[in-house]
Structure 1
């Protein structure tokens, strides 16, 4: 169902979106440029469209035109958007959570003692997902090697990233830091020191599968493990979104999503914004599982059974396995 032009009062939507940019966008100078751009485009009649969905597409293209920030959007919702900040996103995520076993729809033991854990479509808020994710991670903990499939994961909660990492490391570890515009502060993210049940641990072979769709918090999970030297990333370069965002309702069917922070990795000193997470073993996403499974089996076959697995493996070692 569309909203006719005479029912769509565009000017207040553009004004509200521009003000949100000025008040909250993590890059204030870019916010000023974008707010001015939206005003110019409004004055030029670029937003004289028939419905709110069309407006969302046009405004999003303009919002992303300066620095390609994929988290910066005017997002259209088919149903009415709740007025509470962030409520629209949470409502959609809850539906996905309930239909995907809490975000862990695939747990499988492959040949050669290699386990596969698929996390999709999101890393849901930890208050929802700790129980199902903890159960899935406990189930794969005894495996000799683990493949973590993030190819269909489009983001989620940084606290959930830390929770997953805790099961894949041996102790409390500094994973990431987040700079927040509000308060001009840097906040560190550490994996928890303890997990509720068994952990896979920090020494057995670990592979992370990625695709061009892998985004946001799922990228952080892959990037953190890669930068720590803990995992080998197999697949495609990811989408490249490293800015946590908040959502504000600016129309009954439109939500302005504005990044309010940026990631700062303690190892690299930067993040994956715009570049994506680059795989250690590049291949097409549909080939990544077979490739990682073969690498894992070769790695396990090359190791004496009574010796511990090395904690860190270089991509060069994997390529020659």
Structure 2
């Protein structure tokens, strides 16, 4: 008997064909999409995916998906618990568990020496309809601080709308952050800070530092990049992972979810994004030392 967690060669071939079709039809760069679909089908025909474990199949397919341009949002993700068939449902359920376990994504708010506040947003910038209340409370709490350190070292992604919401507390006036360009090269969406935010703003004038690490990814990178490109913040720490493409997910097997980028971000200042390069810090240092370094910079500037 075949287990749902150990696909046979025929099961694996079916999964890989589904992945090839979805990537070919949806990946943001059509030329790369065709190349990847052809690669997966060629590897399948060669017998490269005759793998008896869904987890091992996910690893092998993900390695091939990333072999052309290194897009870290391209992945076949393994889930030990069977995932629902609805698009992206597995990721959403896992995200909700993280939200409930992390105080809504705001695990640390603290006042440090010299009137400098530190606000950690991790592990994700959760969907705005969940995260607006805890973020508004935390950002309003640090609004009177003389300087702010925004800790994104443990932030691995999330919702662009939540990025814009956070930026609304750190900038004065409505500000354009990004344009999302579709696979067809059309403007799919524009990202702006909201005209109104609940609570008090930290504002656009006081010193602001953003901490990053080699783990910071996706929406966490966008928040750091947007504030850096606008000249609003100094980024302190390590270069980030380099994933700038918004993604969608499809369940292709009871234990496998496919992640495919479907658009690309274009920053209005740089005209590009952080894909593949990561966000480069203004003040490079080890992630472990970034908080102390930023605090020293903030206190010196205030003096």
Partner residue in 1 for 2:43: 41
The CA distance in 2 between the partners of 1:117 and 1:204, in whole Å, is 15
Partner residue in 1 for 2:255: 253
- 1:23 deviation in Å? 1.2
Give the secondary-structure state (helix, strand or coil) at the position aligned to 1:116: strand
The CA distance in 2 between the partners of 1:160 and 1:7, in whole Å, is 42
* 1:140-168: CA deviation from partner (whole Å, max 9, x where unpaired): 00000000000000000000000000000
Partner residue in 1 for 2:160: 158
Partner residue in 1 for 2:127: 125
The CA distance in 1 between the partners of 2:39 and 2:88, in whole Å, is 25
- Whether the 8 Å CA contact 2:9–2:51 is kept in 1: the answer is no
Q: For 1:1-321, what aligned pairs fall within 5 Å after superposition?
A: 3-6=5-8, 9-181=11-183, 184-301=186-303
- 1:2 deviation in Å? 8.2
- 1:176 deviation in Å? 1.0
- 1:7 deviation in Å? 8.2
Q: What TM-score do the two structures reach when normalised by structure 2? A: 0.97
- Alpha-carbon spacing, 1:81–1:64, altered in 2? closer, same or farther (3 Å): same
The CA distance in 1 between the partners of 2:6 and 2:208, in whole Å, is 53
- Whether the 8 Å CA contact 2:179–2:187 is kept in 1: the answer is no
- 1:252 deviation in Å? 0.2
- Whether the 8 Å CA contact 1:80–1:253 is kept in 2: the answer is yes
Q: What TM-score do the two structures reach when normalised by structure 1? A: 0.92
Give the secondary-structure state (helix, strand or coil) at the position aligned to 1:9: helix
The CA distance in 2 between the partners of 1:81 and 1:226, in whole Å, is 38
- 1:184 deviation in Å? 3.0
The CA distance in 2 between the partners of 1:5 and 1:13, in whole Å, is 9
- 1:44 deviation in Å? 1.0
The CA distance in 2 between the partners of 1:180 and 1:87, in whole Å, is 23
Give the secondary-structure state (helix, strand or coil) at the position aligned to 1:273: coil
* 1:161-183: CA deviation from partner (whole Å, max 9, x where unpaired): 00000000111001111112268
Partner residue in 2 for 1:312: none
- Whether the 8 Å CA contact 1:24–1:182 is kept in 2: the answer is no
- Alpha-carbon spacing, 1:8–1:119, altered in 2? closer, same or farther (3 Å): farther
- Whether the 8 Å CA contact 1:2–1:51 is kept in 2: the answer is no
Structure 2: gaps of 5 or more residues:
none
- Whether the 8 Å CA contact 2:5–2:255 is kept in 1: the answer is no
Runs of 4+ in 1 over 4 A off after TM superposition: none
The CA distance in 1 between the partners of 2:111 and 2:7, in whole Å, is 55
The CA distance in 2 between the partners of 1:94 and 1:172, in whole Å, is 30
- Alpha-carbon spacing, 1:75–1:132, altered in 2? closer, same or farther (3 Å): same
- Alpha-carbon spacing, 1:160–1:232, altered in 2? closer, same or farther (3 Å): same
The CA distance in 2 between the partners of 1:111 and 1:222, in whole Å, is 23
